[in-house]
Structure 1
């Protein structure tokens, strides 16, 4: 790989998150050589449910939604991924979900066989992949709890707090970017759009969040938001 490409990898938003953080700068080129970089337009599907699971994807910029198509023609959103997230790791021989960019996405695509060769040289990558897979299981368990035991306001609060941690916001008062549509968020949380709007209005009245005209959200009271999200119904 060229020196320019390697320097670009070191400056990547996902450099110190997820898989890439497993290697030191001196060894990063081994992983970078196995990466196939792609730009995905908003609305473009880059993982299709049922297709052979030949690749893994590391999100370097932007966000995407994961969803499954139900037998009756409906679609269920099962999660959202952002910078540093690894997509497709838990798949068997075929993808169990689809992934669609909800804003412009930059990603690295790794062929399973090529990545296996790199991990054979650097066992730390195998360990990191195991950590990522374990984290995905925790997220799945949290989603079951979210839908099965929490009230509407607890679901929204849990999601906002989780997305805040994911984006690593340094300023508690900084606007929280939610790239997903309000309808997608409602579907993921098992709520209606109207209910999500009412919950946000309630959180605003309590002084927990502020909602700007462009729908960007600022978390004003992290402790209170976390307390609401952790409360069981």
Structure 2
């Protein structure tokens, strides 16, 4: 069940919750001065989600934006015929909910237990006007999201099933490195159906392709929902093929 703490007010004698945040360098607050962090802290609430619990629903008023501090989130849209299209996965440090629209254009739910910092949209927008560093940081994150979207278009439109799955694993590895984690093995907390809905494939095709990559000794499967990349060069060649 979703749990939202009370608003956290920062004072001169109150230690900011950001002080002990392990992903602060990755989040939008990473480049802020101490006084700017206090102003940001003054408008945040902490949200805890259980696995499978929604954080936003497509079409709901876009009243809040979020920074994911722990766990993994799936973003998705429901198509007119009832099918689900997964549009992305969020990891600690990622931002959620920035939009020029008054409603959310997607749904988001926790894949694993997750913790987020929640900011009222109107209060955050006011801070963006007052703290240029925060606005620049947010713009940089939006640019990264646009790059991921462009990669997704290429992945869905030009690549084979094997190339898509290889690209997916390499992308997860790169995002681990960004979070100061080893690139190998790759943590894959999402289900094969999640992967299929993201890659535009069927669940059966994803399972079969993973087995093929395993048989070719490009990858191996480890306990704890992890994939070890056994031949990085060959997997890279497959991922980069057009």
TM-score by length of 2: 0.87
Q: Which sits farther off after the overlay, 141-150 or 73-82? A: 73-82
Matches within 5 A, 1:44-55: 44-55=53-64
Where structure 1 has 5 or more consecutive residues not aligned to the other structure, the ranges are none
Provide the C-alpha distance between the structure 2 equivalents of 1:11 and 1:221, rounded to a whole number of angstroms. 37
Structure 1 residues 171, 76: CA separation in 2 closer, same or farther (over 3 Å shift)? closer
Query: Hey, what does 1:124 align to over in structure 2?
Result: 133
Native 8 Å contact 2:217 2:231 kept in 1: yes
Instruction: Give the secondary-structure state (helix, strand or coil) at the position aligned to 1:60.
Output: strand
Native 8 Å contact 2:189 2:225 kept in 1: no
Aligned: 1:206 with 2:185: no
Selected match of 1:134 from 137, 140, 143? 143
Where structure 2 has 5 or more consecutive residues not aligned to the other structure, the ranges are 1-9
Query: Hey, what does 2:115 align to over in structure 1?
Result: 106
Provide the C-alpha distance between the structure 2 equivalents of 1:228 and 1:205, rounded to a whole number of angstroms. 15
Structure 1 residues 172, 137: CA separation in 2 closer, same or farther (over 3 Å shift)? closer
Selected match of 2:87 from 47, 66, 78? 78
Native 8 Å contact 1:53 1:91 kept in 2: no
Query: Hey, what does 1:23 align to over in structure 2?
Result: 32
Matches within 5 A, 1:32-181: 32-168=41-177, 170-173=181-184, 175-181=185-191
Provide the C-alpha distance between the structure 1 equivalents of 2:183 and 2:140, rounded to a whole number of angstroms. 28
Offset of 1:88 from its aligned partner? 1.2
Offset of 1:18 from its aligned partner? 2.9
- Runs of 4+ aligned structure 1 residues displaced above 4 Å come to 2-5
Provide the C-alpha distance between the structure 1 equivalents of 2:236 and 2:53, rounded to a whole number of angstroms. 34
Provide the C-alpha distance between the structure 2 equivalents of 1:172 and 1:68, rounded to a whole number of angstroms. 29
Offset of 1:22 from its aligned partner? 2.6
Instruction: Give the secondary-structure state (helix, strand or coil) at the position aligned to 1:68.
Output: strand
Root mean square deviation, CA, Å: 1.9
TM-score by length of 1: 0.90
Provide the C-alpha distance between the structure 1 equivalents of 2:209 and 2:100, rounded to a whole number of angstroms. 35
